[in-house]
Amino acid sequence: MKKKAEPAKTETKTSIVDLIMDIPLFDSLDGRELKTVARHMSYFEIQKGEVLFKEGDPGDYLCFVIEGGLDILKEAAAPGTSVVISTITRKRPLGEMSVIDNTTRSATARARTHTSLVSLPKTGFEKLLVQNPIIGIKILKGIARWMSMNMRRTSSLLADYMLPST
Protein backbone atom coordinates (compact mmCIF):
# COMPACT_ATOMS: atom_id res chain seq x y z
CA MET A 1 0.00 0.00 0.00
CA LYS A 2 1.26 3.42 -0.81
CA LYS A 3 0.59 6.50 1.24
CA LYS A 4 -0.84 9.60 -0.41
CA ALA A 5 0.32 12.67 1.44
CA GLU A 6 -1.94 14.97 -0.56
CA PRO A 7 -4.51 14.17 -3.24
CA ALA A 8 -3.37 14.89 -6.76
CA LYS A 9 -5.67 16.94 -8.97
CA THR A 10 -7.02 15.11 -12.02
CA GLU A 11 -9.51 16.09 -14.67
CA THR A 12 -13.12 14.97 -14.67
CA LYS A 13 -15.74 15.31 -17.39
CA THR A 14 -18.29 16.38 -14.81
CA SER A 15 -17.87 19.65 -12.95
CA ILE A 16 -17.12 19.57 -9.26
CA VAL A 17 -20.36 21.47 -8.63
CA ASP A 18 -22.28 18.58 -10.21
CA LEU A 19 -20.36 16.13 -8.00
CA ILE A 20 -20.97 17.95 -4.70
CA MET A 21 -24.51 19.27 -5.17
CA ASP A 22 -26.06 16.09 -3.69
CA ILE A 23 -23.69 15.83 -0.72
CA PRO A 24 -25.77 16.35 2.45
CA LEU A 25 -23.07 18.50 4.09
CA PHE A 26 -23.64 21.11 1.35
CA ASP A 27 -27.45 20.96 1.30
CA SER A 28 -27.83 24.49 2.67
CA LEU A 29 -25.71 26.06 -0.11
CA ASP A 30 -27.30 27.59 -3.21
CA GLY A 31 -25.84 27.27 -6.71
CA ARG A 32 -23.64 30.36 -6.46
CA GLU A 33 -22.27 29.22 -3.10
CA LEU A 34 -21.57 25.72 -4.45
CA LYS A 35 -19.57 27.26 -7.31
CA THR A 36 -17.55 29.28 -4.80
CA VAL A 37 -16.76 26.15 -2.76
CA ALA A 38 -15.98 24.10 -5.88
CA ARG A 39 -13.24 26.56 -6.90
CA HIS A 40 -11.27 25.37 -3.86
CA MET A 41 -11.81 21.65 -4.49
CA SER A 42 -10.03 18.97 -6.53
CA TYR A 43 -11.20 15.67 -7.99
CA PHE A 44 -9.03 12.55 -7.76
CA GLU A 45 -9.23 8.76 -7.74
CA ILE A 46 -7.49 6.02 -5.78
CA GLN A 47 -7.29 2.31 -6.47
CA LYS A 48 -8.53 -0.57 -4.31
CA GLY A 49 -6.12 -1.12 -1.41
CA GLU A 50 -4.44 2.27 -1.77
CA VAL A 51 -4.05 4.28 1.43
CA LEU A 52 -5.40 7.82 1.26
CA PHE A 53 -3.85 8.79 4.60
CA LYS A 54 -2.47 7.05 7.67
CA GLU A 55 -3.25 7.49 11.32
CA GLY A 56 -0.90 10.21 12.60
CA ASP A 57 -0.50 11.95 9.21
CA PRO A 58 -1.09 15.71 9.08
CA GLY A 59 -4.76 16.55 8.55
CA ASP A 60 -4.50 19.09 5.77
CA TYR A 61 -7.62 18.32 3.73
CA LEU A 62 -11.18 17.09 3.96
CA CYS A 63 -12.61 14.65 1.37
CA PHE A 64 -15.97 13.51 0.09
CA VAL A 65 -16.54 10.12 -1.51
CA ILE A 66 -18.14 10.45 -4.93
CA GLU A 67 -18.07 6.77 -5.92
CA GLY A 68 -16.66 3.69 -4.21
CA GLY A 69 -15.77 3.36 -0.57
CA LEU A 70 -13.02 3.67 2.00
CA ASP A 71 -12.39 1.56 5.08
CA ILE A 72 -11.43 3.54 8.15
CA LEU A 73 -8.91 1.61 10.24
CA LYS A 74 -7.74 2.24 13.78
CA GLU A 75 -4.55 0.79 15.22
CA ALA A 76 -5.37 -1.95 17.74
CA ALA A 77 -3.64 -2.75 21.04
CA ALA A 78 -1.66 -5.63 19.50
CA PRO A 79 1.38 -4.23 17.67
CA GLY A 80 1.00 -4.12 13.89
CA THR A 81 -2.73 -4.79 13.88
CA SER A 82 -5.66 -2.60 13.01
CA VAL A 83 -9.43 -2.93 12.90
CA VAL A 84 -11.97 -1.51 10.48
CA ILE A 85 -14.10 0.87 12.54
CA SER A 86 -16.17 2.25 9.69
CA THR A 87 -16.66 2.29 5.94
CA ILE A 88 -17.20 5.63 4.24
CA THR A 89 -19.34 5.46 1.12
CA ARG A 90 -20.89 7.74 -1.46
CA LYS A 91 -21.67 11.34 -0.43
CA ARG A 92 -19.94 10.98 2.94
CA PRO A 93 -17.10 13.15 4.26
CA LEU A 94 -13.86 12.08 5.87
CA GLY A 95 -11.03 14.04 7.38
CA GLU A 96 -13.34 16.63 8.89
CA MET A 97 -11.96 16.21 12.42
CA SER A 98 -8.38 17.09 11.47
CA VAL A 99 -9.46 20.17 9.52
CA ILE A 100 -11.50 21.43 12.47
CA ASP A 101 -9.21 20.62 15.40
CA ASN A 102 -5.81 21.04 13.67
CA THR A 103 -4.53 17.66 14.83
CA THR A 104 -3.18 14.65 12.99
CA ARG A 105 -5.35 11.98 11.39
CA SER A 106 -7.11 9.86 13.99
CA ALA A 107 -7.31 6.80 11.74
CA THR A 108 -6.13 5.34 8.43
CA ALA A 109 -8.29 5.53 5.29
CA ARG A 110 -7.81 2.73 2.74
CA ALA A 111 -9.78 2.24 -0.48
CA ARG A 112 -12.17 -0.72 -0.28
CA THR A 113 -12.80 -0.38 -4.02
CA HIS A 114 -11.71 1.92 -6.81
CA THR A 115 -12.82 5.23 -5.33
CA SER A 116 -13.34 8.74 -6.67
CA LEU A 117 -13.26 11.69 -4.31
CA VAL A 118 -13.23 15.45 -4.14
CA SER A 119 -11.02 17.20 -1.62
CA LEU A 120 -11.13 20.56 0.07
CA PRO A 121 -7.70 21.54 1.40
CA LYS A 122 -7.47 23.17 4.80
CA THR A 123 -6.11 26.32 3.11
CA GLY A 124 -9.19 26.48 0.84
CA PHE A 125 -11.50 25.89 3.79
CA GLU A 126 -9.81 28.69 5.75
CA LYS A 127 -10.07 31.06 2.75
CA LEU A 128 -13.79 30.32 2.55
CA LEU A 129 -14.17 31.12 6.26
CA VAL A 130 -12.41 34.48 5.87
CA GLN A 131 -13.55 35.59 2.39
CA ASN A 132 -17.07 34.11 2.45
CA PRO A 133 -18.10 33.79 6.11
CA ILE A 134 -21.74 32.94 5.31
CA ILE A 135 -20.60 29.97 3.20
CA GLY A 136 -18.04 29.05 5.86
CA ILE A 137 -20.70 29.06 8.57
CA LYS A 138 -22.99 26.86 6.45
CA ILE A 139 -20.15 24.37 5.91
CA LEU A 140 -19.23 24.42 9.60
CA LYS A 141 -22.87 23.73 10.51
CA GLY A 142 -22.88 20.83 8.04
CA ILE A 143 -19.70 19.42 9.58
CA ALA A 144 -21.11 19.86 13.10
CA ARG A 145 -24.32 18.08 12.06
CA TRP A 146 -22.29 15.19 10.56
CA MET A 147 -20.05 14.91 13.64
CA SER A 148 -23.09 15.01 15.93
CA MET A 149 -24.74 12.15 14.01
CA ASN A 150 -21.52 10.15 14.28
CA MET A 151 -21.31 10.80 18.02
CA ARG A 152 -24.91 9.65 18.50
CA ARG A 153 -24.25 6.49 16.48
CA THR A 154 -21.04 5.78 18.40
CA SER A 155 -22.78 6.33 21.75
CA SER A 156 -25.49 3.84 20.79
CA LEU A 157 -22.91 1.26 19.72
CA LEU A 158 -20.94 1.76 22.93
CA ALA A 159 -24.08 1.32 25.03
CA ASP A 160 -24.69 -2.03 23.31
CA TYR A 161 -21.28 -3.26 24.54
CA MET A 162 -21.45 -1.97 28.10
CA LEU A 163 -22.88 -3.78 31.06
CA PRO A 164 -26.27 -2.54 32.25
CA SER A 165 -26.17 -0.25 35.28
CA THR A 166 -27.55 -1.65 38.50
Q: Residue 92 sits in a domain of what CATH number? A: 2.60.120.10
Q: What is the pLDDT of residues 2-31, one digit of tens each?
A: 444 445 555 444 699 999 999 999 999 999
Helix and strand element counts for the chain (H, E)? 5, 8
Q: What is the pLDDT of residues 123-147, one digit of tens each?
A: 999 999 999 999 999 999 998 898 8
Amino acid at 149: M
What predicted TM-score, i.e. pTM, was given to this entire model?
0.82
In a domain, 142, yes or no: yes
Q: Which range of residues forms the domain containing residue 134?
A: 16-155
Edge-first strand order for the sheet with 61-67 is 42-46, 115-121, 61-67, 93-94
In a domain, 116, yes or no: yes
Identify the pLDDT of residue 151: 77
Identify the pLDDT of residue 109: 97
In a domain, 163, yes or no: no
